[in-house]
Amino acid sequence: MQIQENISLRPYNTFGIDAKAKYFAAFDDVDELEETLNSKHHNLNFILGGGSNILLTKDVDGLVLKNEIKGIKEIHEDSEYVYIKAGAGENWHQFVLHCIERSWAGVENLSLIPGNVGASPMQNIGAYGVEIDDVFWDLEAYHLKEKRLVTFTRSDCEFGYRESVFKRKYKDQFVILNVTYQLRKKPRFNTSYGAIEQELEKMGVKDLSIKAISDAVINIRSSKLPDPKSIANAGSFFKNPEVSVTKYEELKSAFPGIIAFSLVNGNMKLAAGWLIEQCGWKGFRKGDAGCHANQALVLVNYGTANGGEIYNLSTEILQSVNEKFGVILEREVNIV
């Protein structure tokens, strides 16, 4: 373990924000985590994973830890499923590819989502009709105050749309160490959401496979979303808002082109990107802070924007959407 001082966090967040941490250290197992927490630099501010869902708005006057716990292993199987445990510090997309290579099905629709394994249950990440909730088995986490290991089952996590207990009830109380997924030996293909079927047809796919679905998702995401290595961003900045059917019908009457999806609870989920685009933000740029030209859901840093400039832009977007549609958007990205 090595604790560094006055370290720029720019390499550790996909927004490329040059905020500084007073103290910084990485850990690759629970013993190293405990050793660091027991050091004199015990003023822990937050844990970094892949840094792909965070906006740093100021320097950090305390300790920032980076989770680098690695490892992927099969721990159990039955007639229908294989159970795969992955370290929280594993790159999510590389984990997905690892599963596809071994014909472990269930996460192929979640290809190319930025970030690490540890964030997957925290955010209940989802895309193209699949969420972590669908493949999650359990996770192991470290309770920071009680200094003990705790196992969380699916029901313990209380998954919701981009939500879990780790974002609300237990926020900043646990460090996720590893996650176990329940993956299928025989795939159940999910191609009905978004443009997957059209992309598969364009690709000329005759025999459907999880590899083909993954390739289609990668193609679609690459065409819509900017690579953080090229343009700094944190993916979708806002959640898709949920409204009642009554509210949706009102909006549909006033805005016939509105995009929405029905939910099992009877409500409607609106496409936040469409709402933002209708307010004129798509492609907007002020200094180095902007709204991406191809996807209005994504805020970007074109170079040297600071976290405050990105945050202020997001506030303006929230206000304009509320004024035009009477809909309150919620930030998906964590603000620090």
Domain count of the fold of the chain: 3
Write down which residue in 184, 207, 241 finishes a domain. 184
Shared domain for 132 and 177, answered yes or no, is yes
pLDDT top residue among 227 and 112? 112
Q: Are residues 167 and 86 in the same domain?
A: yes
**Which residues partner with 150 through β-bridges?**
141
Query: Does residue 16 sit in helix, strand or coil?
Result: coil
Are 145 and 46 within one domain?
no
Instruction: Choose one of 67, 92, 115: the last residue of a domain.
Output: 67
Q: Can you say whether residue 204 is alpha, beta or left, with left for phi > 0 and alpha for psi between -120 and 50 degrees?
A: left
**Cβ contacts of 170 within 8 Å, gap of 6 or more:** none
Do 54 and 76 fall into the same domain?
A: no
* Whether residues 270 and 288 fall in one domain: yes
**Shared-domain flag, residues 95 and 51:** no
pLDDT digit string, tens, across residues 200-233 = 999 999 899 999 999 999 999 998 888 888 899 9
CATH number at residue 57: 3.30.43.10
Please report whether residue 166 resides in a domain: yes
Residue 2, number of CB atoms within 10 A of its CB:
7
pTM: 0.86
Of 67, 86, 118, which marks where a domain is finished? 67
Nearest 5°: the CA angle 242, 162, 325 is 25
3-class state of residue 121 by DSSP: helix
Residues catalogued as catalytic: 162, 236, 332
- Reported as a single tens digit per residue, the pLDDT across 227-286 is 888 899 998 999 999 999 999 999 999 999 999 988 888 899 999 999 999 999 999 999
Judgement on whether residues 78 and 175 belong to the same structural domain of the protein: yes
Phi/psi of residue 161, nearest 5 degrees: -65, 110
154 in the same domain as 135: yes
In this structure, are residues 28 and 69 in contact, taking their beta carbons and an 8 Å threshold?
A: yes
Other beta carbons within 10 angstroms of residue 173's beta carbon come to 15
Whether 38 and 130 map to the same domain: the answer is no
Are residues 282 and 262 part of one domain?
yes
pLDDT at residue 275 in the model: 98
